[in-house]
Amino acid sequence: MGLQERAAAPVRTESFRANRPDLVGPEVPQKPFPIHLSGAVQRGFGRGGKDLGCPTANLPDESITPMSSVTETGVYYGYAQVSREKDGQVILPEEDGKVLPMVMSLGWNPYYKNEKMTAEIHIMHGFKADFYGHSMKAIVLGYIRPELDYTSRGEFFEQMQRLRQAS
């Protein structure tokens, strides 16, 4: 699937919630994983942190091609690391530069009706400062679930909280 195509979310949340699986998976990554992504963190829509209390780091479009070309839209898990340096200066504290667990949404965000595919990475860490422009590396280890088309903002928030707890 190319970055310019917009596909409908395959699952409405009513049907998915009724038969929600437990989060399980293989003990080791299976093809096509692991997938390595990297790029400079760019500004997104500003919804993750402001609307959901779940800030995300967004990678440039060209950075997500290795993943979008071999997987489907959905939510994935893995690890990410933000470089402490920017423009040759150490800016972030040591704890912000560690390899940290993450969840990532790859898709169109049907609830918000995005016009292009995005990769939004939520790193499980309480960053105290923004890190736009910093280099970030991520390794995606597996798939959690398909991209969902939420019926309400509350349902969207609830699902985000579940993902954070499960990851």
Active site residues: 120
Question: Within a 10 A sphere around the Cβ of 161, how many other Cβ atoms?
Answer: 13
The CA-based dihedral angle spanning residues 83, 89, 95, 97, taken in that order and rounded to the nearest 10 degrees = 10
Could you tell me if 44 and 56 are in contact, meaning their C-beta atoms sit under 8 angstroms apart?
yes
C-alpha–C-alpha distance, residues 134 and 58, integer Å:
11
Angle at 90 between CA 89 and CA 93, to 5 degrees: 160
